[in-house]
């Protein structure tokens, strides 16, 4: 057996390879940690075909109790492997243990919630006029194409797969190459599930986009669930529109912290810092914008700056690490270029981080956090998702100005409101253009509630009861009776 057994694709219940074999690397060291077979359009076709056959021939779509039982047992199976997933995310994604643990703890919870959804009554019946009875049914739409991002691959794959399976769909899942080893664990758990029919879940890994494009283009795939950048989401939506294909898109964000003068700074400061250091800012809800009321601006900026300067970078294996690596050196260069452009455009560096120069981190994709003060909202550093540990800070005078600044980007995924005023949170939350508002906290996620974005942050919702909507069709049946 080779030192690094290669990750294969799970298609129709079997493990298959492909022509290209590539290396998986640890972003903290740049060293090889494994290999994987790289999928392509042909791999996607095989996954789609297996899912389509299973949907047509197995009892899966017709048997809600079968689906509920399978999802409940899958929750148990994933729970037994959470330690393996945490270890893999640390080595392959650079996530610190707490970050990886936070990601994977959602998985069993999401699967158990989906098990309940599988049994949820989805129909209604009524006499629409004398002698005519109408029945409204909701039935699974067919094969769901799931395109998973690299930044939280374990949970975000399940977040889409679970409601699709609960609805009675089968799935073809494209895992990112940066998470090939983690994706292999996810696929292993599905492969071992005795309650799943062959071909219900098919998983392939791909470094390019030919397979993902095939998912979007295939007439056998009526719905696509994608999490990733707004740019890619627009391309998917455009291609899907030509085929009148349903899409669920969770896209980019520029989460603002609205910090009012009466906020509890002892709680605000560490949370603001955590909101940019968690997974090195590579999170769609990273708290990339700080909006602070003028009365406390100096105090807050100084406190945040001191904490950011003291943040200790390091690998997941080091318990003293406070910020892990970015996904690769190309990401480090991209983020640093954005910071340089912002400074050249007038932003003031309160904390100028940048690529690590620490000898013991040589070869790793580490980036020290950066804090920039800006005056307006027109610059790219405010308007575009940086996807790294970079925050901007702006001052405001009134509540109305704070809301105006917060809404001044094309994004609307999440926002945070910090205040001791009991009336302000609901008033401000109603005015903000964002799908998730966290009050005196950040990114308060719950699988039982819908998650998604306004404006260019996406279409549709995952989580909650509405997560079934994208995977179900309505059908009306009317019958005359004597």
Q: Which residues contact 179 (CB under 8 A, 6 or more apart)?
A: 92, 93, 148, 150, 153, 154
Tokens 């030192």 correspond to: 3
Would you give the distance in Å from CA 349 to the centre of its chain?
30
Burial class of residue 441 (count of CB atoms within 10 Å of its CB; 0-12, 13-18, 19+): exposed
Q: What is the DSSP letter of 11?
A: E
Contact 248, 470 (CB under 8 A): yes
Q: Which residue has the tokens 């945040």?
A: 304
**φ, ψ for residue 187, nearest 5 deg:** -65, -40
| Catalytic (active site) residue 54 | no
Tokens 């909650």 found at: 464
Q: How far is CA 476 from CA 139, 169, 222, 323, in A?
A: 11, 20, 20, 54
Selection from 309, 355, 349 nearest residue 333 by Cα: 355
Are 480 and 132 spatial neighbours (Cβ–Cβ below 8 Å)? yes
**293: which strand partners?**
396
User: Which of 15, 452, 422 is CA-nearest to residue 192?
Assistant: 15
CA atoms of 234 and 19, how far apart (whole Å): 30
Phi and psi for 226 in degrees, rounded to 5?
-130, 135
Distance CA 3, CA 225 (A): 35
| Options 250, 373, 385, 451, the catalytic residue | 250
Pairwise CA distance, residues 346 & 177, whole Å? 37
Q: How many CB atoms neighbour CB 32 within 10 A?
A: 12
CA dihedral 199, 201, 202, 204 (to 10 degrees): -170
Told to judge if 250 belongs to the known catalytic residues of this protein, a careful annotator would answer yes
Token pair listed for 424: 């302000």
Q: What is the DSSP letter of 379?
A: S
The structure tokens listed for 403 are 């809301």
Residue 260 in contact with residue 293, Cβ under 8 Å?
yes
- Are 140 and 165 contacting, i.e. CB atoms less than 8 angstroms apart? no
Exposure letters 293-314 (e unless 16+ CB within 10 A, then b): beebbeebbebbbebbeebebb
Contact present, 324 and 91 (Cβ < 8 Å): no
Catalytic one among 284, 373, 385, 451? 284
Active site residues: 250, 284
């Amino acid at each position: 057996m080779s030192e690094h057994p290669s990750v294969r694709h799970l298609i129709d219940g079997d493990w298959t390879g492909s022509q290209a074999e590539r290396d998986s690397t640890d972003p903290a060291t740049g060293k090889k940690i494994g290999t994987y077979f790289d999928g392509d359009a042909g791999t996607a076709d095989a996954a789609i075909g297996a899912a389509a056959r299973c949907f047509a021939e197995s009892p899966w779509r017709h048997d809600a109790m079968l689906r509920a039982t399978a999802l409940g047992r899958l929750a148990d199976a994933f729970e037994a492997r959470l330690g393996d997933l945490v270890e893999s995310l640390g080595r392959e994604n650079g996530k610190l243990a707490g970050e990886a643990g936070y990601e994977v703890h959602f998985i069993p919870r999401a699967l158990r919630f989906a098990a309940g959804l599988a049994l949820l009554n989805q129909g209604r019946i009524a006499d629409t006029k004398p002698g005519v009875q109408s029945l409204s049914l909701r039935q699974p739409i067919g094969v769901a194409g799931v395109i998973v991002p690299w930044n939280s691959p374990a949970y975000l794959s399940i977040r889409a797969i679970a409601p699709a399976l609960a609805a009675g769909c089968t799935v073809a899942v494209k895992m990112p190459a940066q998470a090939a080893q983690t994706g292999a664990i996810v696929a292993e758990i599905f492969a071992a599930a005795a309650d799943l029919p062959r071909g219900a879940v098919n998983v392939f890994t791909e470094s390019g986009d030919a397979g993902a494009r095939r998912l979007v283009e295939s007439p056998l795939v009526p719905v696509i669930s994608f999490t990733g950048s707004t740019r890619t989401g627009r391309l998917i939506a455009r291609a899907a529109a030509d085929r009148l294909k349903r899409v669920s898109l969770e896209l980019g964000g520029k989460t603002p912290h609205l910090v009012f003068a009466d906020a509890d700074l002892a709680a605000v400061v560490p949370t603001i810092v955590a909101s940019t250091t968690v997974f090195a800012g590579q999170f769609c809800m990273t708290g990339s914008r700080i909006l602070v009321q003028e009365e406390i601006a100096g105090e807050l900026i100084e406190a945040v700056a001191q904490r950011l300067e003291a943040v200790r970078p390091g690998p997941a294996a080091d318990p003293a690490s406070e910020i892990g690596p970015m996904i690769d050196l190309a990401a480090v260069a991209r983020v640093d270029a954005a910071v340089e452009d912002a400074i050249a455009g007038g932003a003031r560096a309160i904390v100028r981080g940048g690529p690590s120069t620490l000898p013991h981190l040589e070869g790793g994709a580490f980036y020290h956090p950066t804090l920039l003060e800006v005056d307006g909202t027109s610059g790219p550093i405010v308007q575009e998702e940086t996807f790294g540990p970079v925050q901007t800070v702006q001052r405001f005078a009134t509540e109305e100005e704070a809301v105006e600044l917060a809404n001044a980007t094309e994004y609307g995924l999440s926002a945070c409101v910090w205040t001791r005023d009991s009336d302000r949170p609901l008033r401000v939350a109603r005015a903000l253009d964002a799908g998730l508002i966290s009050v005196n906290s950040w990114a308060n996620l719950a699988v039982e509630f819908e998650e998604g974005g306004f404006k260019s942050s996406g279409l549709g919702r995952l989580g909650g009861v509405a997560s079934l909507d994208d995977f179900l069709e309505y059908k009306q049946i009317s019958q005359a009776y004597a």
